[in-house]
A and B are shown apart, each in its own frame.
Chain A
């Protein structure tokens, strides 16, 4: 009976633990701020070939990100032929959808897009705790009732991924390929819904 209780407790405990930090020891954050460097240069036009799968509906096009001032970014998605699909402005913590095409102008979809691109372009965040692992450092930040885990490689110090989670579940994985300053490929993968964004950087831009 006691074993059963322990087993049940273990089961409950393990099902509640977050995969991102499984087996890792939480420490006080040793830095006051961490940087996502991928959209940090105001003189750079960040232009990507984009493929969006939104609940099984496919949207292809060009995604443009521009850092306008220290705390503001513009994110525009157009078709290959040039017409705008959506156009967002992020300024500190405020969000303005300048334009959204009818097919995507639904609260549920817009909220997801808003969060995805906010996490993607947000440059400076304050970690609340830190986890050291064999591969590098993992920093935890608060994000509007959820958490973001920034994973930096030990050797290159490159930001490899951001994992957006609730207390118990990984919700969105942002993975970055490329060098320390430029993300050549970005994949935004939602874990519990069919909502994925794949970005490949233009080589000639």
Chain B
């Protein structure tokens, strides 16, 4: 397969065998019309998530990572947001073209979501047990008592002590970390095939973040769930991702295995992120920040969107938008000078 410029999907996303992806997103474009400004938040985003794997979408604010997720789940604020192109195939159906009610039925059960702020997923006036049990009643048609038993089992599963009593508590009676566990219990309730988690540990303290990451990793491995993790934290990615997709200004600029991305990045933006990341045990080393600011998404520069901040930018980078191309097996970069990244 000769795909140096236009790689096929399998090549892009590293399908080694015949296992079909659970979620297959291709060429997703999301634009926001804000007055006279057209904000291009996602510009041709493609990726796949397979069962039992964790794909991390790594990007800074404004990179398009959250908008991508919102578009897939159909929770994009619209207007002003519009999906102008693209497909998101799940279970043989395109999530982007099906009616909202149908998508809700499918997404609620087979694709679960976990957000940064657990309170945004919890209703403050119902007990957590009622809310978890609701998942069983609505999606699986369980009886009240069976649903309640399941709720207790799940609370235990996510490590909440005294689950049979805590099931009667309201969200405000839990700490931030415990609430995120409750949300995970809810997410697991309908036995989803895919979990999409948007910054699930960003609001938590470090010791609690470590607990939740460990739990996510374990649940995912045991249940064989495909996890799509959206984060800005290099530490979180290094900790639990199998593959990484780096986004900048609404585009995928690099994808690869977590080891390749951290040890042998092939895009100057990824390199810059790694160089500016503050790490324990490197206090003596100078930090090398990426100069400047990310571009205004209503005025994305011509050529490579990163060229104004890139140390290797050439004339070509200012005029020609680089496409994702295969650098090594399962490792793609959208950089004209990928071979110069060290």
A and B part of one assembly:
no
